[in-house]
Amino acid sequence: MTYCVAVTTEKGLVFVSDSRTNAGIDNVSTYSKMHRFESGSDRRFVLLSAGNLATTQGVVQQLNKDIEQYAPLNLMTLAGISDAAEYIGNINVRQEEKHTTSGVNYEASFIIGGQIAGSSSEIYLVYPQGNYITTSAYTPYLQIGEGKYGKTIMDRILTPDLSLETAALCAMISMDSTMNSNMTVGPPIEVSMYPADSFSLDRYYCFDEHSEYLRELRRSWDRNLKEAFNRMPPIAWATNWDEQQNTQ
Amino acid sequence: MTYCVAVTTEKGLVFVSDSRTNAGIDNVSTYSKMHRFESGSDRRFVLLSAGNLATTQGVVQQLNKDIEQYAPLNLMTLAGISDAAEYIGNINVRQEEKHTTSGVNYEASFIIGGQIAGSSSEIYLVYPQGNYITTSAYTPYLQIGEGKYGKTIMDRILTPDLSLETAALCAMISMDSTMNSNMTVGPPIEVSMYPADSFSLDRYYCFDEHSEYLRELRRSWDRNLKEAFNRMPPIAWATNWDEQQNTQ
């Protein structure tokens, strides 16, 4: 499996992805799922990928080929991030269809985010069917892959006014929760932070399986979560919080 | 969807279930998913159900019919909780097969727990295929339905030495996290606590949608979780926690 998440705030974008790929539980490999594209000073993109590895590699190769061959439509000629989502969706559907006769699932999903000069920074989720969605003020994040374990903390914490550092910390805790509950999501963990209007992808970090920071993150969150639990008022069963039914 | 969870500790068993049933998002109803069976003083059972409503109702009706008709094999004649799991699995498969010709999914899952005199209290998860599993010291809980949102808190908190009250609080937070992230899981929330060797199902509680306790639980957990997040050390990007790669 895979877990990738992107967050948009007023301060810019955050991208976090794991690197574990598996075809069956005994065939586990490590592949980066974060791909960065840049050209000149007017546009920066980060692409996160989930799903069939042949399909995601095929899509990324096609994106690079279109740039190298100066195709009329490529990431460097598009007018907006939503156009990039449409373009990636079309390539994705074509890649998936290449092998569909065999009946196996070759689906892939992507998150494309970044900024093109003249517009705000944005993120889009591209589905296997080629259609796509973006965020809202109430849902400032997008997930692909195994998103449920890491959703609860983001639903509680993320708001559009957070700093990039706070949003990144929340996304990292979301990643840690997912790794803690699902063995098929694992390091290296890649993080990209894109400050709005910076047109710089310099803030890129990679934490491998020996990372002291990942260990400290888990220890701290585990400790803080247990303290939070221990500070909860006990369930006041006996004192009639509610009309307690006893149907015996 | 559904979320049901059962926890076993040295002190006994805890069962928590939601009551929302939906066939499509515009066809939402309320049904109890917690069924209690008792007879004389030598056995007590709690059954939690998830999946196709016709199948789960058919299974529960058959369990009751077998008891009423003094069938050779029924919940009141079985020697152990694992025998109950086997028996319920067989009934479940038969109920599912009644309608499988139409190609629709009629699968259901169950958690059966309780105690029979002479043995310890136990819980088992019965799959749609009729097979079943129990808990371990490392995994003292079982879930059916939409379990992923509520798994992370239980993975962090639950250990076999917890009091029933603490285990119940953890299961309730797990339920709250699930309801917060998934609209198809909802109140009334039913809770049964079975103190080991008590042979009593008296500790039963039901919290409906107007429950002040459910509201207070959500407020408290939301506040404590945000405090836990705010006490996290910031990500020390700049101070070389790790070898930070910057492949630009």
Q: What is the residue whose two structure tokens read 């979780």?
A: B225
Mean pLDDT of B162-185: 95
Q: Report helix, strand or coil for A88.
A: helix
Mean pLDDT of B152-168: 95
Is the predicted pLDDT of residue B124 greater than 90, yes or no? Answer: yes
Q: What is the pLDDT of residues A191-215, one digit of tens each?
A: 999 999 999 999 999 999 999 999 9
Residue of B nearest to A170 (CA): B229
Is the predicted pLDDT of residue B39 greater than 90, yes or no? Answer: no
Q: Report helix, strand or coil for A165.
A: helix
The pLDDT of residue B102 is 65
Is the predicted pLDDT of residue A246 greater than 60, yes or no? Answer: no
**CA-based nearest distance B38→chain A, Å:** 10
The pLDDT of residue A27 is 81
The pLDDT of residue B126 is 98
ipTM entry: 0.86
Q: What is the pLDDT of residues A83-99, one digit of tens each?
A: 999 999 999 999 999 87
The pLDDT of residue B109 is 98
Pairwise CB contact (< 8 Å): B152 & A226: no
Q: What long-range pairs does B93-101 form, CB within 8 A, spacing at least 24?
A: B93/B128, B93/B129, B93/B130, B95/B55, B95/B58, B95/B59, B95/B62, B96/B52, B96/B55, B96/B128, B98/B58, B99/B54
Pairwise CB contact (< 8 Å): A245 & B153: no
Query: What's the pTM value of the predicted model, to 2 decimals?
Result: 0.88
- Chosen from B242, B243, B246, B247 to mutate, greatest number of chain A CBs within 10 A: B242
Mean pLDDT of A130-158: 95
**Predicted confidence band at B241 (pLDDT cuts at 50, 70, 90)?**
very low
Is the predicted pLDDT of residue A77 greater than 50, yes or no? Answer: yes
d(CA B46, CA B81): 11
Is the predicted pLDDT of residue A156 greater than 80, yes or no? Answer: yes
| Residue B100, φ and ψ in degrees, nearest 5 | -70, -15
Mean pLDDT of A149-170: 95
